[in-house]
Amino acid sequence: MSAVTPAVTLKASGGLRRRKIVNKIMEFIGWAAALAAVAVLFVVIVSVLLRAWPALSWNFLTKPPALFGQPGGGISSAIVGSAIIVAMATALALPVGVLIGIYLTEFAPRSVAQPVQLVLDVLNGLPTIITGIFVYGLLVIGNGQSAYAGAFALAIVMLPLVARAAQETLLLVPSALREASLALGVSRWRSVMGVILPTAVGGILTGAVLAVARAAGETAPLLFTSSIFQLGTVTTDVSKAMPNIPVLIFTYSEQPDQALHEQAWGAALVLMVFVLVSSLLAKALLARSRRKLGR
Amino acid sequence: MSAVPSGYSLRSSTRRLTDRIGDVALRVVTALAALAALVLLGAIVWKVIHLAWPAIQHYGLSFVTGKTWDPVKGVFGALPFIYGTAMSSLIALVIATPLSIAIALWLSELAPGGVRGVVGSLVEMLAAIPSVVLGLWGILVLGPFLADHLEPWLHDHLGFIPLFGPPSATGTGLFTAGLILTIMIVPIIASICRELFLQVPNELEEGALALGATRWEMVRGVIIPSTRTGIAAAIILGLGRALGEAIAVTQVIGGGTTISANVFGPIDTLASKIAASYQGAASGLEAASLLYLAAILMVIGLLTNLAAQVIVRVFDPLKGAH
C-alpha cells in the first residue's frame, strides 16, 4: 500500500474522451449521409407521384397526344414508339453482348481478353450524347431520322452492359460443370450451348433487364436519331422517327406550358415505374440464379 | 478387343465432323462479336472527328480558347462550355465525394443488419432514375426551391465570395446543374466504394479495433489508406459521368454563353450545348462548331474513363491490404 493512489476511473477523459467524441461525430455523419440519399430518392419519387396524379387516366395511357392547343390527349404513341425502339435495340445488343461474354470467358487468351474488357468499359463510360452524334453521322445524315437509327444508338449503350453481365455470370459457372462436360467427350461448342449457357441464363437475363431499364430512360442517343416526329399518331413505321417517352418528357419540360408539364410528369411516372419495376425484377432474377449456382 | 463395336471408330465419324465445325464456328462467331466492339469504339472516334473536321480545319486549336459564342456574328469558341463543364462537375464532385464515401462507410461498417440491404438497394435505385426524369424534377421542383430559399440565403451570408452572386430568378443555373449531377454520381461512387470497403480483410479491421482504435480511427487508419486508389478510380468514374451528362444538365442549367464567377448564373456545358441546339443550328458553321464541341467532349470523356480504368487495372485497388 503506497501513499499514492492512482486516479484510475472507468470514465473516459482527456485524449480518449476527445477520440470518442470525434468517433461519435463521424458516425453521426455516416447516418446523416445515408439518410440524405434515401431522403432524396423519396422526395423525387413522391414529387413525381403527386404531380403525375392529375394527368393519369386510362385515356392518358391509351390515347395519342391531342393536337396543339387542345386539352386532353395521352402518350400512347410515345409508349408504343419507346417499346418498339427498345425492343429493336435489345434484339441487336443481347445476342452480340452474350457472344462477347462467351468469347471472353471460354476462348480468349488473357492478352486478348484484357483489351476487349477495357474497350467495353470505356464504351460504357462514353457520354451517351456522343453515341447519338455517331449514329447521326453514320445513319441519319442523308437518310433522315428513323426508329432503327435510334435503336442502333440505344444498342450501343446496352452492349457493354450486356457483355460484362454475361461475362461475369459465365465466370461464376463452376468449372467442375465445364470439366465434367468436356470429360464426357462433349465438344466445346455443345458444352457451351448445352451446359454452360443454360446454367448462366439467369444472370445474363438480369444483365439484359438492367440494360433494357437503362436504355428505356436514355434520351441523349435519341435526340439526334428519333426526335423530330409526328406525335399525334401511333406509328409502327420504323423507317421514320418514332415518338418516344424520354424525348417527349425532355421537349415538354423545356416548354413554359403548364398542361405540357403535367403530361411530362405523367410520362415521367410511366417511365419511372417501368425502370424501377425492371430493376426489382432484375434483382429477383439475380437472387434466383445465385441460388441456382450455389453461391 | 472386340468390346468396341465394329463401325464405331474414334475418328472422322459424322458427329465428330459437326463438332469440329461447331467448335470452330462458335470460336469465330464469338471472336467476331468481340472484334465488333473494338471496331465500334474505333468507328465512334473516327466518325465524330470526321464530322467535326470542317470546324477543326477552320478554327484549329484556337476554338478551344475562344471566349465568344455568337451565332449572329458567326463567331464560335468553346471556352464558355469548357468552363461550364468543369465548374458543374467540380460542384458535383466537391459535394458528392465526401457524401458517397460516408454512405459507403455507413453501408459497410455501421449499418444495422436489418436496414443495410434495404438502404443499399435504395441507393442503387437512385442511380436507376432516368436522367430526363431527374432533370424534370430539377427544373420544376428543385430549381424553384433553390431560387426561393437556398440561393438568397447563400448570397446573403456568403455573398462576399464572388461565387455566391445574385440568386437566379427561376432556379436554373450552374449551381442547380451541379446539384443534379451530385444526385446522379453519388450512387455510382458510393456503390463502388462500398464494394472496396467490404473487401478490406476483417483481420486488419479487427486488429485495429483490438489495439484500442475507435471505429473512426480504424476507418482513417486502415480502410481509407488500403482502398485509396480504388476510391480515386471511383471518383474519376463519377467525374466521367458528370462531364458527359447532357439531358438533365440541359434542363436545369439555363443556357448561356458568358463566363461569370456567379454560380447561380446560366451557362452551358459541352454536352448540354450540343443537346440544347440539336435542332436549331442555323448556319453550317454553327452546326460544325457544335460537332467540334462534341469532339472535345469525346476526347475528354475517353481520357477520363481510360484514366479510371488504368488506375483500377495497374494499381491494385487494395494495395497493402493483402
Tell whether A91 is within 8 A of chain B (Cβ).
no
Q: Which amino acid is at B131?
A: S
Closest partner CB to A30 (pick from B19, B102, B245): B102
B52 vs B283, higher pLDDT: B52
Residue A237 C-alpha, separation from nearest chain B C-alpha, in angstroms:
22
**pLDDT higher than 50, residue B321:** no
DSSP-assigned beta bridge partners for residue A65: A73
Q: What is the structure's pLDDT at A11?
A: 66
**pLDDT higher than 50, residue B322:** no
Percent of chain B with pLDDT over 90: 56
Q: Which of B247, B304, B313 to mutate to test the interface with A (most CBs of A within 10 A)?
A: B247
**pLDDT higher than 70, residue A18:** yes
Tens digits of residue pLDDT in B50-63 = 999 988 998 888 88
Q: Residue for cell digits 443534379?
A: B180
Chain B residues closer than 8 Å to A38 by CB: 119, 122-123
Quickly list DSSP for A41-57: HHHHHHHHHHHHGGG-S
Tens digits of residue pLDDT in B125-141 = 899 999 999 999 999 99
Q: Helix or strand or coil: residue B75?
A: strand
Chain B residues closer than 8 Å to A137 by CB: 47-48, 50-51
Partner-chain contact A121 B305, CB within 8 Å: yes
Q: How confident is the model at residue B4 (pLDDT cuts 50, 70, 90)?
A: very low
What is the mean pLDDT of the segment spanning B304-322? Answer: 73
Q: How confident is the model at residue A235 (pLDDT cuts 50, 70, 90)?
A: confident
Chain B residues closer than 8 Å to A154 by CB: none
Q: What is the structure's pLDDT at B10?
A: 52
From B302, B292, B299, B301, select the one nearest B62 (Cα to Cα).
B292
* pTM of this structure: 0.90
What is the mean pLDDT of the segment spanning B64-82? Answer: 88
| DSSP class of B142 | I
Number of Cβ within a 10 Å radius of residue A114: 13
Q: What is the structure's pLDDT at A6?
A: 57
A158 vs A2, higher pLDDT: A158
Partner-chain contact A265 B103, CB within 8 Å: no
Q: A27 with B102: CB under 8 angstroms? A: no
Rg (CA), chain B: 26
Quickly list DSSP for A89-134: HHHHHHHHHHHHHHIIIII--HHHHHHHHHHHHHHHHS-HHHHHHH
Q: What is the structure's pLDDT at B320?
A: 44
Residues 232-271 of A with CB under 8 A from B: 246, 249-250, 253-254, 261, 264-265, 268, 271
**pLDDT higher than 50, residue B2:** no
Partner-chain contact B214 A20, CB within 8 Å: yes
Q: Can you tell me the distance from the alpha carbon of A88 to that of A151, in angstroms, rounded to the nearest whole number?
A: 6
Partner-chain contact B132 A163, CB within 8 Å: no
Q: Can you tell me the distance from the alpha carbon of A216 to that of A244, in angstroms, rounded to the nearest whole number?
A: 9
Tens digits of residue pLDDT in A245-268 = 999 999 988 888 888 888 899 999
What is the mean pLDDT of the segment spanning B105-130? Answer: 90
For A276, phi and psi rounded to 5 degrees? Answer: -70, -40
Average of per-residue pLDDT values in chain B: 88
Residue A3 C-alpha, separation from nearest chain B C-alpha, in angstroms:
31
B219 vs A69, higher pLDDT: B219
Q: Which of A17, A26, A157 to mutate to test the interface with B (most CBs of B within 10 A)?
A: A26
Q: What is the structure's pLDDT at B5?
A: 52
From A102, which residue of chain B is nearest by alpha-carbon distance? B30
Partner-chain contact B297 A40, CB within 8 Å: no
Q: What is the structure's pLDDT at B236?
A: 94
Partner-chain contact A37 B309, CB within 8 Å: no
Q: What is the structure's pLDDT at A247?
A: 93
Q: What is the structure's pLDDT at B85?
A: 95
Partner-chain contact B102 A220, CB within 8 Å: no
Q: What is the structure's pLDDT at A155?
A: 97
**pLDDT higher than 70, residue A274:** yes
Q: What is the structure's pLDDT at A29?
A: 94
From B275, B238, B236, select the one nearest B253 (Cα to Cα).
B275
Helix axes B228-244, A110-125, angle to 10 degrees: 50
What is the mean pLDDT of the segment spanning B233-250? Answer: 93
Partner-chain contact A133 B294, CB within 8 Å: yes
Closest partner CB to A127 (pick from B33, B271, B308): B271
Q: B298 with A137: CB under 8 angstroms? A: no
From B45, which residue of chain A is nearest by alpha-carbon distance? A134
Residue B184 C-alpha, separation from nearest chain A C-alpha, in angstroms:
11
**pLDDT higher than 90, residue A26:** yes
Q: What is the structure's pLDDT at B156?
A: 85
From B126, B83, B49, select the one nearest B253 (Cα to Cα).
B83
Q: Residue for cell digits 450545348?
A: B273
Partner-chain contact A133 B40, CB within 8 Å: no
Alpha-carbon distance values, A17 to A10, A11, A30, B109 (Å): 11, 9, 20, 22
Closest partner CB to A250 (pick from B132, B216, B313): B132
Q: Can you tell me the distance from the alpha carbon of A219 to that of A239, in angstroms, rounded to the nearest whole number?
A: 19
From B138, which residue of chain A is nearest by alpha-carbon distance? A44
